[in-house]
Structure formats: structure tokens, C-alpha cells
Chain A
Amino acid sequence: MIGDTANAHTFVEALRFIVDNPQLLFTKAVEQLELSGAALGIALLIALPVGIVLGHLHRGSGFAIGTSIFVRALPSIFLIAVFLTVLGLGFTNNMVALAVLAIGPILTNAYLGVEGVDRDAVEAARGMGLSARGILTKIELPLALPLLYIGLRVAAVTVVATATIAAYAGGGGLGDIIANQATYRLSGVVGASLCVMALSAGVWVVLIALERTVTPRGIRAVRVQAALGTQNEEGM
């Protein structure tokens, strides 16, 4: 595009770029994780209570599932551009745009997780004299954990990956290098791309490992699909 020759040798130069610029890449990766973490935190604060309450009440399935379908239809660069025009260039616009993206999977999976809890289990708990609050915290939430984690993981990976695009709207992060081929040449762009891939795959692996350790053995999802967080018709 900018007169760089693009061939297999570019990958060698890209690896050299990574080896030569560890400080730059580390700083940018941390920037990207900060932006992602902030966005994810906001999304969790909003989407988790809404999804859990709707699931507990068995209400608003259209809203809970429709949200993730609608959010999926929003191109990330469009969301980022819209908040750029509203909030101006910088951290906040990107954080809000990424938070919106994360709300879909978190809300839908929280809803599906709590809503899908076996009614017999809830009945039994009620029969044992548990209050509505007790049913929610002692029965529904623990049983909903596998889906809650899947929602969190899908959201986290989506946010970290999309935060790369935020660089086009002043978001910083490794995308800064990818968006700036004039300065970093194709080798730098490809090198940063490889780092971004490692970063988001790393987040995915870490979250899977975390899920394994914190999920009580009794409710571990046996299905491969659930374990991998692959998508089904309704969800995510």
C-alpha cells in the first residue's frame, strides 16, 4: 500500500521488529488491556444485574436475546466512530463503544443461565424454605455459572480484539502500530498484528483456565460446546 514489498520475508522482518521493540510493544499491550478492562468492567456492571434479574423473573426473553443479536449487527468501527463523534477523541469514546459491544454476550448469557435453571431445583429450594433471595444466590447463580463465564469470556475476547480497532479513533494500544504503516512499515504492522493475536488468544486461554479452577466440580459443563464457548442459535 505504501510501497512496502510484501512477501514471505516480511514475516522475518516482523519477528525482528518484535525482538527489537519489546518496550514499545509491552507499553502498547498494557494500554490495550487497560482500555479493555475498563470497558469490560462497565459492561459487567450494567449487563450482569439486568440479565440475572430478567432471568430470575423469567421475563423479557425477547429483550435479553435480542440485545446480543442487535449488538452483533453493529460493526465495531461504526460504534467506535459514533462515539467518536459524540464524545470526542480519546479514552472515553473507545471505552464506551467497547462496553456496548460487551453488553450483548454478557446480558444474554446471564439471562439464559439463570432462566434455564431447572424449575424442579427451584421448587425444591422453595419447599426447603429458602427465600427468593436465597433461591437466587444459593441455587440459580451457582447453576448459572458456566453460562455466566462463557458470556464473560466471549465478551472479553471480543473487547480485547476490537480494542485494536480503537486505535483508529485515538484509543492507543497495539492498534496504534497497525494503523500507522507510514511510520512502522509493513514489517511493524505485521509484527504488531502477531502480538495482538497472541494477546487475545492469551486472554481466551487464561479465562478458560480460570473457569476450570473456580467452577465447582458438580456443575462443570460436560458438553464440549459449552466448554469451548461455541455459539448456539439463541446465545452470545
Chain B
Amino acid sequence: MIAAGPVIPNFGQGSSCVTGDNLFCWDWVRQHWSDTLQPALVEHIELTAIAVVIGSTLAFGLALLAHRRRRTEQPISIVAALVYTIPSVALFQILVPITGYSNATLEIPLVAYTLVILFPNFVAGFNAAPPEVLEAARGMGLTRNQTFTRVELPLALPAMIGGLRIAVVSTIAIATIAATISEKGLGYPIFYAIGLPTPFKTEIYSAGALAVGLALLCDGALVAVRRFVTPWSRAAAR
């Protein structure tokens, strides 16, 4: 270790694989799982979960408003589309003067992106019930609220879960950018590793693989949830 090749900070007792910066070093992953990768993964899941929960609650409320008062839909959609054009790096940074280097600064952009993805999907879902179905519901004597909870909401589920899939996968990806203003999430090991004099491959690949794996896992889980909560769509499947 002493004077054996370049000094790579933060890598501990580097094996020859690590000091030689080979393609992938399992021993580094094993050695730094508990102090680098696992905490980053847990933080990443927290960042995403909070954003998706708050974002879907807000999206549900706004979509309900747009569903009840059709005129509000277009203005909200335009604002949502514009928010989606904001680069995440920039959004994190311009919040620093307002909310400081806090968790709020990390969550506000993630919530915003979740919201703008979910809103159009939720609205499309709420509007998915065909007119004749609504007519039948009225004929059966259902009130407006009963029609919503018993007819429109179940029919909205496929589109809502479709939106959630996009939102969750996108948020997991965007949450890596939180590392530009904090040391949280799976982005941090990646930014750290590319900032070194020689980018450290193993750290980049392992943290990135965890982020991609997490996203695909969540996507698969939501597909399973959709099958479970919309049994009728399985019967009518192509």
C-alpha cells in the first residue's frame, strides 16, 4: 500500500484491482457496501418514497379539481409541462437561497417532477369512464360522489398506475441529481467517483446499477399491483 501507485482517497486498503482501476472490483463492493453503497441506497429510497407520496397526494387533489371544473385543466397542464422543462440541477440550486441546504430543498424538486408527471395521467384516468357508463350510474340512482368512488375511480386505476410507473422510475433517476447539493442518495458515489483524478469505475457502475435495479424493480412491482387491483382487465386482455 505504501507508495504503491497513485493514492486514491477514501478507498481504504485497495486491492490491486482497485489501485489498477480494473473494470469492476467485487472486493471494493463488499468492503464498502456497509459504509457507502447501502446507506446511499437507503437514502435514495427515502428521497423517492417521500416525493412520490407527497406528489401523488397533490396530483390527486389537482386532478380532482380539473375533473370537476374542466376549465382548470388546461392552465394546470401548461404549468406542469413548463415545470417539466426545468433542468433538475438548476431547480435544486435555485432553491438553496430559499430553503438552504435542507431536506426540503432535496424534496421540493422531486415532488414537483412527480406531480407534473402524475397530473395528466390522473386526469386522463378520471375522464376514462365512457358517457354511457356514467349515464347508467345516474340511472341506478348513484350520487355524484358515489359515481366517483364506485365507477370513475376504479376505471381510473389503470391510467393512474401507469402514471405512477413513469413517476417512480423518473424520480429514482432524478434523485441522483440531489447529490449536486448534498451527500445523499446513489448519485453521491457517482459524482464523487467522476470527480477523482481518474474516475473510479467500480463505484460508478455499482451505484448506477443499484439505481437502475431499484427503478426496474419498482416498475415491476407496480405492474403486479395493477394486475391485482384491476382483475377485470385481465379477463378482457387482448
Tell me the A residues contacting B by CB distance below 8 Å. 1, 6-11, 14, 69-70, 72-78, 80-82, 84-85, 157, 160-162, 164-165, 168-169, 175, 178-179, 186, 189-190, 192-194, 196-197, 200-201, 203-204, 224-225, 228-233
Contact = CB atoms under 8 A, between A and B. Distances in A.
B155 interface: no
A230 B97 contact: no
Nearest to B87: A161
B120 A82 contact: no
Interface string B78-89: 101110111111
B85 A229 contact: no
30 contacts: A6-B97, A6-B101, A10-B97, A69-B169, A72-B173, A73-B172, A73-B212, A74-B212, A75-B211, A77-B187, A77-B190, A77-B191, A82-B205, A161-B88, A162-B87, A168-B191, A169-B194, A179-B180, A189-B96, A193-B93, A194-B90, A196-B90, A197-B85, A197-B91, A201-B82, A204-B81, A225-B77, A228-B77, A230-B120, A232-B120
Given A190-B93, A225-B120, A225-B124, A75 B212 contact: yes
A197 B93 CA distance: 11
Contacts, number: 167
Contacts of B208: 75, 78, 81-82
Task: Report which residue of B74, B165, B166 has the largest number of chain A beta carbons within 10 angstroms of its beta carbon.
Answer: B166
Q: Is the interface of B mostly helix, strand, loop or mixed?
A: helix
Contacts of A80: 194
B193 interface: yes
Contacts of B219: 69, 73
B12 interface: no
Contacts of B85: 157, 161, 197, 200-201, 203-204
Contacts of B159: 233
Contacts of A6: 96-97, 100-101
B103 to A, nearest CB: 15
Contacts of A14: 97
A233 B165 CA distance: 8
A228 B116 CA distance: 12
Contact of A73 (B88, B173, B201): B173
Contacts of A69: 169, 219
